[in-house]
Structure 1
Amino acid sequence: MYFLLLHGRRSLELQKWRNLRVSIRNSFPFSTIPFSSTVSPTKDGRKGQIFTFCYLIDSLGLTPKLAESISKKVSFGEKRNPDSVLKLLRSYGFRDSQISSIVTAYPRLLVVDAEKSLAPKLQFLQSMKGASLTETVSKVPKILGTKGGKSLSVYYDFVKEITKADKVSKFETLCHSLPQSMQENKIRNVSALRELGVPQRLLLPLLISDRKLVCGEGKFKESLKKVVEMGFDPSSSKFVEALSAVQGLSEKAIEEKVKVYKRLGFSVGEVWEMFKKCPVSMRLSEKKITQKFESLKVFGLLEEDEIVSVCKKSPECVFGASEVKIINSIATYRDLGFRKDEFKTMLKSHPQCIGYSEETVKKKTKFLVKKKNKFMVGKMKWSVKAVALHPQVLGYSMEKRIVPRCNVMKALMSKGLLGDRKSKLPEKESVLVCNDEEFLKRFVRNHDDKELVAELMAIFTKDHAS
């Protein structure tokens, strides 16, 4: 009866999620479609996405994964306009690496009118003194989406000041050094965040975005004070997420959210501890919160008290994931051969396992457990049960941890330094679970032969860096 509901007895809503999973999986069979510059414009959105995907790889050298992500945000059916945009950017001195970063952060730039919209803005920005056009635009590409010369000038000057302040480490005088005409709410609030230590990568998007987070005055100050008092680190993205959550909710709304969590079994203190780990938990509606609980309960995986325990340990894995993501994750582990009790064990000990992508879980599980694996010593192969008992291995990097260590163990075995077939090998779990220093101490530096140590280190560092 294992995962019975996954085999046809789900509710109508869960069945809809399952169908969505199939449609998503089949929506981008890119590897079978060659790039062609002759694809004509079409109203078929899927064809537009395919053309865009191929164009991004061919013209900008983006990775397939990144190209696929961008093609879901913007698509086009012919290359004339994006070619004009790229040509214009290059004529202003933008390097291909900068253009790739700009397009990644602001994909819609590829579909703007290069001559009527983009060219005048670049010409205007280039006429302004005191900052590198390419450097500033690369840091905050969405400035090119700003409407009106005055707004463009104000934001450009402020971005320039932030960049300059970062270089000379004089953040505390930033706000006061700006021209009086720039003392608007948004600029003042972004300046306040900068003085607290919020980094450029978080500040500049706020400056250009349409979000109301930094547009107010009294509410902003009050919310900022609360977030600082809660102990959030200004250099982390959670600081901005928490500020957004607190500012977007009234005191009454916050009280109602706390009541929802209390009904589910959390104490008030636990609610705020979860908020510190996952600020989005306070922004979810009552319906969303209960749906996430039901997604885990509906399969009989966890009891209510166990779900509460998982949420307290790693709330971002539950509240930061959609219901579709949770359902898909359960199905992925089932398809790989994990039993219900094994997945339950994984979820309780390492909730992050539900947040790993389907591709990651499949790739690493198959690498560790498959019978024929040129990287893995026969006796060092894992079982599905072993992975379930040590689910943290699914979060380890293949390139920097798993493969380098497997290659070192394979080299030791080939030299007879791990004993013969009847000898007891090191516990396979310990080979991957220990940190780098411990691994090197146990399996590389413990040999008297200096040439052997050098050879093993070469294997480890070569694969580790690849």
Structure 2
Amino acid sequence: MILTLIEFSWKWKSLTLKSSRFKSLNRITTIPFPTSKFNSSLSTLSLNHFSSTTSNLVPNCTSSSSETPHNASNVVRFDSLIAIFKNYGFSDSQINYIVKQAPNVLKLDPHNRVLPKFEFLHSKGASNSDIVELVSRSPRILYSSLENSIIPTFELVRSFLPSNEKAIERILKCRFFFGHYHVIRNVKMLIDDGVTDSNIRYLLLKRPSILLSYDMRDALDEVKEMGFDDPSNVNFCIALLAKRAMSKSRWDAKVVVFKKWGWSDEMVLEAFRKRPLCMLVSTDKINKVMKFWVKELGWNSSVLVKRPEIFSYSLENRIVPRACVVLYLISKGLIENNVELSTPFGVNEKVFLEKYVECFKEERCYLLKLYREKMDVQEIREDGAASRSY
């Protein structure tokens, strides 16, 4: 028996989302379907080939579905499915894994349900290896509707990014995008709440999985209650990201660390409002910065409430070298001890050298040497730690 594959012709289909805010996204409202270019080498598949290939690739999988591999029509379909997988570069082990994870894929029409999905992704810039990676990581994408799920989701993501390639890249980062009805709903919710396109793009680039949240409404309301009342501000999205990036227990653990060093709950919230990213710093990093600031420098931890971005800086390459310069200047009476101690840490290196090194002409050489030496010592320590790790 010889199976002949029929070339597919894609049709134009108009996809319109209900929200009027989406109507401005031209890529979503009308989507062109490209012409199939499926490899004609799949046009002849024999039943004999099935018995030596299909039965080895899908062991024990048919028992979980109602399909019988020895039925002639099923043999043809299974063999065609495997041929499509092979044509796109799937290995035997990957095909076996896919069928085990999503056994009902054996019930799908290979040319009406599977191949068009691959062709659509390929037409949008996905390579064969991209398709293999996506399907291998999330086999159930094969169950998703091309017209009602995959295309609308892709076009939605694409509308916020500069190219098809960037959209594919983001989707690969979050394997559950396709077939997840929360994505379109959540983006609509963000837009309706006043989140700008640029901030939605920020979420897509930084943490695309946030758009899969089942409780986005609760998350948005929580962020607003914490004092982020302007959804168009980038800090609103950073706060949303920070809250969704960790569990409540991890969040509470960081609050405990801050309070250990003298902060109150209100101080933690104030710092979070100023710099939401401070809550994405590890508890270990928070402890190290606090210990250096309080124990070694002898400064009050409350200063850091006003400059919580300091927790995000490198302790070795920024905080320690600059602190040594500041301490020397204080010891020599060149700057007052009651100045805003956090200021030297917040400026870029050029400004720091101009204001705290170069302007002190008599001390300039020593200060520069002190600054560079501290940085070199830290680099040597890092290199040594790296060499010991091999």
- Give the TM interval when normalised to the shorter protein: 0.3 to 0.5
TM-score, length of structure 1 as denominator length = 0.38
TM-score, length of structure 2 as denominator length = 0.44
